Structure 1
Amino acid sequence: MSSSFTHTAAGPDRRTVAASALLAGGLLLTGGTGAARARGRAQGPARPAAGRTLRLPAPTGPHRLGVTTLYLVDRSRRDPWDAGIPVRELMVTVFYPARGVRGLPVAPQMTEGAAAAFADIDVRVHHLPASGVDWAATPTHAHPGAPAQPVRRPVLLYSPGGGDPRTLGTGLAEELASHGHVVVTVDHPGDAGEVEFPGTTPYRTDPVRTTVLRDDPRQHPALFRTLIDTRIADLRFVRDQLAVLAAGGSPDAAGRALPEHLGRALDLRRVGLYGHSAGGTAVAEALYEDRRFAAAANLEGYLDHPAERPGSGRAGELYPVARYGTDRPLLLLGSERFIGARGREELARSWSAMLARPGGRTRRRQIDGAAHWVFTDYAALAPALQAAGLMTAADRDALTGPVGPARAVPEVRHHLRAFFTRQLPPRC
């Protein structure tokens, strides 16, 4: 598969675009095209007949959780990754404190269509087991359609890592929501590994859209810029659509019913952001650009552009948030074992510039013994796969580090919960 790419005015051409499924890892994605995967789904079952069911850590807060998804369409933008899509489509999941959940089932972490694509794409990228796991069976702790508590609560938007789906941030989203926030996890289609929509459209004939990314976008400066700019625009659009919801309307483009009181649960005067890797870059810069966002947590995302000539040893241009600083709270949370010496050096350079700003409100913290994906659900899932003999210790360490989930999961949760509780305190 070629790693070359070209650009048009609307973004990279869909036939030749190539970028990374892993923002920091630089690993090669070798899965087939979206069309080939669609044919495979049509010819066989979407999920294995049997396999191990994985479990996510339970949230620790006092609130039971409701959950719903929203299909959002921005008609003012064309899709940057596919020239045949004339609008920008997004899928988001909303986790919220529920008024009651009796008799309601829990939602799965992934839809069946997304799980089938995950087993083809993400499994290859992260050296996960190719068999023995039913990826569609992992349950969450949230109940679809449960009525929301009609209490105005601060809202947090989550942007996942480059090439990752929003579903890999489920555990942290549930934790924050269980302590009184409304959490909205955002997929960035075309970038995200896999996204399942409610149905098809004349310009998208498969409900599951898979990633166009193939190798490290930091090796392709123009593509990296498109990736981050698109995510920032996505986050700002989601914020706009939440205002429609809070005003009593429905932003869901499929016209699906929404949980009772969901709009009344949103306090849009208090909106924060958090993101992992590419998502961390996007939320930090969105905080700088849009004063509607009150605080942000960057989970190991660069704060600079890649060098115009990768490998030249010359530093790339800092994003404005690092160049000029921000007067609103920003948490930089990293891992001890961030991938690769070059990656660690680049991250340290851009973060140090941010921290050097006088009078700033930026703080840095670190998870010791951890690697880059400790900020995702892999922090719990990878050790479980290793314990079951389905993943090697080396592959698990490359993903999340040797730190065990008994320490890593509570520590990541503590940093995020303490930061947002301090900056955007919820009403319990």
Structure 2
Amino acid sequence: MFPTGATTRRGVVRSAVLAGAALLLADGATPAQARQRQRSRATTGVTLRLPRPTGPYPTGVTTLYLVDRSRPDPLTPSIPVRELMVTVFYPAHAVHGRPFASQMSAMAAGKFPETAAAIHPGLPTSGVDWAATPTHSYAGAPARPGRRRPVLLYSPGGGDPRAMGTGLAEELASHGYAVVTVDHPGDAGVVEFPGTSDGRPEPWRETVFRGDPRMDPPLFRTVIDTRIADIRFVLDALEALAAGRNPDAAGRPLPEGLGRALDPRRVGAYGHSAGGTTVAEAMYEDRRVRAAVDMEGYLDHPAEAPGRVGELYPVARHGVDRPLLLLGTDGFPERRQLERSWSAMLAHPGGRTDRRRLDRAAHGVFTDYAAFVPQLASAGLLTAEDRIRLVGAVDPVVSVPWVRHHVRSFFARHLPAPGA
């Protein structure tokens, strides 16, 4: 057994409930206003709300279009370069009069329902205005001046877009971090680019997945190897940005002071599912990553044949001399398979790996689905059974603060932000 939020973290859970009730009413709507919105949804579609960040800083947001010309796209070999899209959240100032950014662009939102329902059966394919969800971050706002800030990279779960990590990214940025969420094209459901490149006729890429990549060992190996290379390339780009260069391949202008706000010598990473696998192994392979959080990601390869066990990733086989936090749930259906590689990781001497579990929860609880799925269920767009399968029965006023607390406190210990 290992510690759970329900039994050994009573203070955390109690404060989570109190804080969660406020942050989930993110726009200050009264109950009467909420009922009026519900009546209007028949014609406009449901508008979902992200939890409000709790930190002292307003947050800014921008996107970067990055092109790695040293390698062709491993998931679409016809494209001769590897293109990436990332979003940067950061503490901001001079935000008055600036608009909040949307969680998704209109194009991405239009394609999202089909790809999301394929990855997560039970999600509605209609009835939601995915383009209408606002973030709490100001588009293009100047970065807050002062000391350089630790950089945290986020790698999403397989098939998920980086947008589904917005809530946690905003939370961390509001407490003083620069947070970079990374899309892995060909893996993420849909990725929108600012232009076209040789070999890509459209300004977007859709996922190549047609099922669980764990069922296809060579594909899974390619996916994780590609993601690790993506993370390392993003780190190169951030070093260039911190040195005063603009890494955006389209030459788009950067928010004022963004490069001066980054400290590429203090880098952490966190990821969900395949993203958890990615950041743990990236930390093993690249010493620039000084701490990592794996949110329910395997640390082994899938078995090559029935009755066999998969090879452990080097991070689990050899251990690592930097801090790693493993966050899991009791509702993950493959937790027995997960246990083998996590136990191997925890068995290494030195005590640099820790583990926590959230009960009454399921795999999607580490993403924005933790807040969205209960809203969808309340609107009648998702069944109670699908809610439990996607995020569990845990209330978001508990689960959202629990995840935020454990990720933020981990990085606060190992990569403290100025003023954190």
Q: When the two structures are superposed, what TM-score results if normalisation uses the length of structure 2?
A: 0.88
Query: For 2:178, which of 173, 179, 182 is the aligned residue?
Result: 182
Q: Which one-letter code corresponds to 2:129 in the other structure?
A: D
2:398 paired residue number: 407
Q: Secondary structure at the match of 2:320?
A: coil
Within 5 Å, give how 1:145-164 maps onto structure 2.
145-151=140-146, 152-164=148-160
1:301 paired residue number: 297
- Residue 367 of structure 2 corresponds to residue 376 of structure 1: yes
Query: For 1:144, which of 139, 144, 151 is the aligned residue?
Result: 139
CA distance in 1, matches of 2:273, 2:340: 15
Within 5 Å, give how 1:19-418 maps onto structure 2.
50-126=44-120, 127-151=122-146, 152-309=148-305, 312-339=306-333, 343-418=334-409
Shift of 1:125: 3.4
Deviates more, 1:409-418 or 1:197-206: 197-206
| Structure 1 pair 119–49 and aligned structure 2 pair: CA distance change class (3 A) | farther
Higher helix share: 2
Preserved CA contact (<8 Å) 1:326 1:360: no
Please identify runs of 4+ aligned residues in structure 1 that moved more than 6 A. none
Q: Structure 2: which 5+ runs fail to align?
A: 1-41
Query: For 2:415, which of 413, 421, 424 is the aligned residue?
Result: 424
Shift of 1:288: 0.5
1:13 paired residue number: none
CA distance in 1, matches of 2:351, 2:224: 23
Q: Secondary structure at the match of 1:218?
A: helix
CA distance in 2, matches of 1:344, 1:336: 8
Shift of 1:206: 1.2
Q: Secondary structure at the match of 2:77?
A: coil
Shift of 1:257: 0.5
Aligned residues: 376
Q: Secondary structure at the match of 1:68?
A: strand
Q: Which one-letter code corresponds to 2:345 in the other structure?
A: M
Shift of 1:150: 2.2
Shift of 1:51: 1.2
CA distance in 2, matches of 1:359, 1:153: 28
Preserved CA contact (<8 Å) 2:47 2:129: yes
Q: Secondary structure at the match of 1:231?
A: helix
Preserved CA contact (<8 Å) 1:325 1:360: no
Shift of 1:130: 2.2
CA distance in 2, matches of 1:413, 1:154: 17
Preserved CA contact (<8 Å) 2:79 2:198: no
Shift of 1:124: 4.0
| Structure 1 pair 211–49 and aligned structure 2 pair: CA distance change class (3 A) | farther
Q: Which one-letter code corresponds to 1:329 in the other structure?
A: P
Shift of 1:49: 7.6
2:11 paired residue number: none
Q: % of aligned pairs identical? A: 69
Q: Structure 1: which 5+ runs fail to align?
A: 1-47
Q: Which one-letter code corresponds to 2:324 in the other structure?
A: L
CA distance in 2, matches of 1:57, 1:157: 20
Deviates more, 1:265-274 or 1:212-221: 212-221
Deviates more, 1:167-176 or 1:199-208: 199-208
1:19 paired residue number: none
2:34 paired residue number: none
Cα deviations across residues 226-255 of structure 1 (Å, max 9, x unaligned)?
Answer: 000000000000000001100111000011
CA distance in 2, matches of 1:153, 1:219: 40
Shift of 1:50: 2.4
Shift of 1:387: 0.9
